[in-house]
């Protein structure tokens, strides 16, 4: 898909939004979820949109829910709290909603790649985990990524939790967005140690892979699978 350098968006009609790539996290003013990498931004207002939120489709389908027809809404339809069927998190803004069954998907969750591939490691998106998630130890209902070797499982919801745990710090530290912000993207250490413990046999190989897997999943969950946050997280893991 080709993205325009500048767009006008109905949720922020007063100014143009510029396409920008930065390895600094932001909160999307459309879906209210975290983002990194590519975004559409109003520099005057500090208004940001994920690219998938800035250029949504009006009506979509998803292979995990073959009978559903999802429509795009700028705010959650109906009364009461809605949650995303992919990641289990609340829906607070832009959403794809199926009127028939009431299912909801965050735009970024809808856009999660079904395969992440860096050449060595392949990760596949599944509707459920088939064995315990490396972060929470449970199977649970959230979508998850599984490595091709089937040894590594991570819930999309758990990745979001790791990010949420640190989001206040990330976003508000010193009142400004600095390099320090995103070097804390974090809590990955916990994940990796769990992985380490559970696979004591082939320590090195396994942990390298887990680290890589986590990097890919995080940038995908944040709405930009191509964001190069590898270095950031790599330096975290070596501590
Ligand atoms: Zn968004
Ligand atoms: Zn503006
Ligand atoms: Zn449906
Ligand atoms: Zn979601
Ligand atoms: Zn989990």
| Closest ligand to Cα 52 | 1
CA 59 to ligand 3 center in whole angstroms: 12
* pLDDT (mean) for 126-137: 86
> Model's pTM, two decimal places?
0.80
Give me the percent of the chain exceeding a pLDDT of 70. Answer: 72
- List all residues 6 or more positions away from 7 whose beta carbon is below 8 Å from its beta carbon: 16, 17, 19, 40, 54, 55
CA 9 to ligand 2 center in whole angstroms: 10
CA 85 to ligand 3 center in whole angstroms: 11
| Closest ligand to Cα 139 | 5
According to the per-residue pLDDT averaged within each range, which of 71-75, 147-151, 191-195, 197-201 is highest?
71-75
The answer to whether residue 197 scores a pLDDT higher than 80 is: no
Computed from CA positions of residues 123, 103, 81, 39, in that sequence, does the dihedral angle turn out positive or negative? positive
Q: What is the per-residue pLDDT across 3-51, written as a single tens digit (0 to 9) for each?
A: 679 999 999 999 999 999 887 778 899 999 988 889 999 999 999 999 9
| Closest ligand to Cα 41 | 2
CA 87 to ligand 4 center in whole angstroms: 4
pLDDT for 230 equals 52
Higher-scoring residue by pLDDT: 227, 32: 32
CB neighbourhood size of 27 (10 A): 15
The answer to whether residue 181 scores a pLDDT higher than 70 is: no
Which residues are near ligand 5, the ion (C-beta closer than 5 Å)?
133, 135-136, 155, 158
CB 48 within 8 A of CB 89: no
- Residue in the block written with tokens 């459920």: 128
Rounded Cα distance between 3 and 40, Å, is: 10
Q: What is the per-residue pLDDT across 35-94, written as a single tens digit (0 to 9) for each?
A: 888 999 999 999 999 999 999 999 999 999 999 999 999 999 988 899 999 999 999 999
Domains parsed from the chain with CATH numbers? 6-54 (no CATH), 59-110 (3.30.60), 115-237 (no CATH)
Strand ranges in 43-152 using DSSP code E only, listed in sequence order: 47-49, 59-62, 65-73, 95-98, 104-105, 115-117, 122-126, 144-147
DSSP label of 94: -
């Amino acid at each position: 898909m080709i993205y325009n350098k500048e767009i006008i968006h109905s949720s922020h009609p007063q100014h143009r939004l510029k396409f920008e790539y930065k390895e600094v996290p932001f909160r999307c003013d459309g879906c209210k979820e975290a983002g990194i990498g590519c975004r559409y931004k109003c520099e005057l207002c500090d208004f940001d949109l994920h690219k998938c939120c800035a250029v949504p489709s009006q009506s979509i389908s998803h292979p995990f829910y073959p009978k559903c027809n999802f429509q795009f809404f700028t705010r959650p339809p109906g009364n009461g709290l809605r949650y995303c069927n992919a990641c289990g998190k609340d829906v607070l803004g832009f959403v794809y909603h199926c009127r028939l069954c009431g299912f909801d998907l965050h735009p970024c969750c809808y856009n999660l790649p079904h395969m992440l591939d860096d050449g060595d490691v392949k990760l596949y998106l599944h509707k459920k985990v088939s064995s315990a998630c490396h972060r929470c130890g449970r199977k649970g209902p959230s979508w998850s990524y599984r490595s091709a070797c089937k040894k590594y499982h991570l819930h999309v919801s758990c990745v979001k939790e790791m990010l949420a745990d640190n989001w206040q710090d990330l976003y508000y530290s010193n009142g400004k967005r600095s390099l320090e912000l995103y070097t804390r993207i974090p809590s990955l250490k916990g994940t990796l140690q769990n992985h380490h413990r559970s696979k004591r046999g082939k320590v090195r190989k396994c942990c390298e892979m887990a680290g890589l897997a986590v990097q890919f999943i995080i940038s995908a969950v944040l709405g930009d699978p191509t964001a190069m946050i590898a270095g950031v997280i790599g330096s975290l893991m070596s501590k």
